[in-house]
Structure 1
Amino acid sequence: MERMIEVNLLTKRYGGTTAVRELTFAVRPGRVTGFLGPNGAGKSTTLRMVLGLDAPTSGTATVSGSPFRDRARGLRHVGALLDAGQVHGGRTAAAHLGALARSNRIPRARVDEVLEEVGLAGAARRRTGGFSLGMRQRLGIAAALLGDPPVLVFDEPLNGLDPEGVQWVRGLFRGLAAEGRTVFVSSHLMSEMEHTADHLVVIGRGELIAAESLAEFAARGTGAGAGVTVRTPQPAELTLALRAEGATVRPDSDRADAALAVTGLDAARIGALAHRHGVPLLELTPRSASLEAAFMELTSGSVEFPAGDAR
């Protein structure tokens, strides 16, 4: 229970609309847990209930065994970034963090430490109204780190960051998890979750779809990109032979060369089939399942406004 987020039968209704329905999952320390779902799935509502900003209609959301709103000096227990824009534009970065530090009885020296950690030491005396979105994101991350908390929650922390910033955040989250902290990250960027998260909580229309490792979730998608990349000087002959055995063959859209993407047969069977037909192979590489393709497949029934929907 220590350092863990626990959600049990969590439900939130707004009039006749149910935004979150009987969600149950746990976010454990020592790993980065990605929180995924289509737009309107209820991710932000769930995070607000975890942080005590919204009251659930029923069910519970606790951090280390207690509701977060019951904890005094909350930044020492949970650091959170929900909206990087919620900063008074007339304050400097240092003044903004200083006010948070005073209200949570955090030493003033910690402000300089976190500004240095997020790369904003040189902008400490600048007013935040002139910050770019990426700089505001870094400031929000600094605020989350201010109390050196064991539990961290981030909602879309990569918005506005340049490639260097994205790489930095990826390393930061993994480093925090390696220290034994609980790291819960909501994001719509599948490629980043694929490189960052160890575990996933996936919801759609307010209901739980999956709570499992990234690899387990990706493997659940039947069309999730798993298969074999094949390169041969005789693609037409090999394609005919593979399709005769029931395989699906198409050009590999991820490659600039003439490689083929084959599904329905494993690498060993493809190699044996090529040998039997006298077709030389230049490459035979198993492909791992794609998180993005699995996500699209497994949440297809939970998309609020599908592309092409005329409503």
Structure 2
Amino acid sequence: MIEVSELTKRYGSKTAVDHLSFTVRPGQVTGFLGPNGAGKTTTLRMILGLDAPTAGAATVSNVPFHSHRRGLRHVGALLDATRVHGGRSAAAHLSALAHSNGLPLRRVDEVLQEVGLADAATRRIGGFSLGMKQRLGIATALLGDPPVLMFDEPINGMDPEGVLWARRLFRRLAAEGRTVFLSSHLMSEMENTADWLVVIGRGRLIAAESVGDFAARSTRLNVVVGSPRAAALAVVLAAAGASVEPQGSTGTEKLAVTGLSAERIGALAFENQIMLNELTTRTASLEEAFMELTADSVEYLAGQPR
């Protein structure tokens, strides 16, 4: 378990993390979301003791990470897959880490096999693609068979097969009862992988809840309506106070309706003798909810006037 309590980090007049508190529990994949500059990487670094907090505390299994004598046995982490010695082979890199943490060397072969790099074990890391370096970083995190795992943007540079493999791996690790904390900007992957979300903006907590509950907080809930008389139905619904937009390409005869429930839309269609062939309530996607609920926390906006 990871516990963060009133964690704060300031760099001069800049507050990167601001009285942040949350808990990451075992047995589920917890996604860590926030706009660029929200303080995610700084938070991960403070959990691992790489940066000292200005105030507050972070613990792993009830103690600060530096209290664990051999860290890889307790926490496996991937923060930057490119921060490795390019002149070493994958096997040499992992062997050095195994030796320093008192781990059996057989773990090197096991984790290389696990991440699909067994055939590249003796190749120099400098010749690896970004996707291969990500796999090596995941192997490093798995080396000590730890109960807690932290990953910062682990699937950047991976091909579709690699992304699917990583998704299944993270879910399997959580199913084994481990604590899995995963930061990513890829909302579709987070929607398919995470069970729980911690969302921050400008260093402050925005939400800590299930993926479904977070998406449900969006105001972008609407109803998709299909009818052979979509134009007539649009007039009726607009007169009742709804916002109506065509859904999909021309000729699909579908409308996206906001402001009326599915039940009310069905009743209005019945009263006006308009046949329906679809009536579906649509909740916001994780990406839509994230964009809406973090809009006030975005620090770097493209296309803004100077």
TM-score normalised by the shorter chain: which range applies? over 0.9
Deviations 1:157-176 (A, max 9, x none): 11001111111111111111
Q: What is the CA-CA distance between 1:310 and the residue it aligns to?
A: 2.7
Q: Is 2:21 aligned against 1:24?
A: yes
Q: 1:288 Cα deviation (Å)? A: 2.5
- CA deviations 1:124-178 (Å, max 9, x no partner) are 1111111111111111011101111000000011100111111111111111111
Matches within 5 A, 1:82-93: 82-93=79-90
**Take 2:248 and 2:62, find their aligned partners in 1: how far apart are those partners?**
48
SS in 2 for 1:279: coil
Report the alpha carbon displacement of residue 258 of structure 1 after superposing the two structures with TM: 4.2
Cα separation, 2, equivalents of 1:256 and 1:113: 56
Q: Is the 8 A contact 2:229 2:253 kept in 1?
A: no
Instruction: Tell me the equivalent position of 1:272.
Output: 267
Give yes or no for the alignment of 1:282 onto 2:281.
Answer: no
Judge which range, 73-82 or 233-242, deviates more.
Answer: 233-242
- Residue 309 of structure 1 is matched in structure 2 by 304
**Counterpart in 2 of 1:240?**
235
Residues 166 and 256 (structure 1 numbering): CA distance in 2 closer, same or farther, change over 3 Å?
Answer: farther
SS of 2:10 mapped into structure 1: strand
Map of 1:67 onto structure 2? 64
Give the secondary structure class of the aligned counterpart of 2:51: coil
Match of 1:106 in 2: 103
* Structure 1 counterpart of 2:238, one-letter code: R
Aligned identity (percent) is 70
Q: Name the residue aligned to 2:119.
A: 122
SS state of the match for residue 278, structure 1? coil
Any conservation in 1 of the 2:78–2:154 contact (CA below 8 Å)?
yes
Moved more, 226-235 or 136-145: 226-235
* Paired residue secondary structure (1:13): strand
Counterpart for residue 141 of structure 1? 138
Structure 2: stretches of 5+ with no match in the other structure: none
The one of 7, 11, 27 equivalent to 1:10 is 7
Structure 2: distance between partners of 1:71 and 1:256: 63
1:34 match: 31
**Distance in 2 between the 1:216 and 1:170 partners?**
21
Residue 212 of structure 1 and its aligned partner are, at CA, apart by: 1.1
Q: Residue 187 of structure 2 corresponds to which residue in structure 1?
A: 190
Seen in structure 2, the aligned counterparts of structure 1 residues 196 and 281 have a Cα distance that, compared at 3 Å, is same
Deviations 1:78-119 (A, max 9, x none): 000000001111111111111111111111111111111111
Higher mean C-alpha displacement, 267-276 vs 184-193:
267-276
1:159 paired residue among 139, 156, 161: 156
Distance 1:290 1:254, change over 3 A: farther
Relative to structure 1, the CA distance from residue 255 to residue 175 in structure 2 (aligned partners, 3 Å threshold; closer, same or farther) is farther
Letter in 2 for 1:210: A
1: CA distance, partners of 2:78 / 2:187: 19
Task: State the match for 1:229 in structure 2.
Answer: 224
Measure the CA separation in 2 of the matches of 1:234 and 1:253: 16
Q: Does 1:54 align with 2:48?
A: no
SS at the partner of 2:92? helix
TM-score where L is the length of structure 1: 0.95
Equivalent in the alignment of 1:150: 147
Q: Does 1:202 align with 2:199?
A: yes
- Over the aligned positions, Cα root-mean-square deviation in angstroms equals 1.5
Secondary structure of 2:223's counterpart equals strand
Whole-Å separation in 2 of the counterparts to 1:117 and 1:58: 39
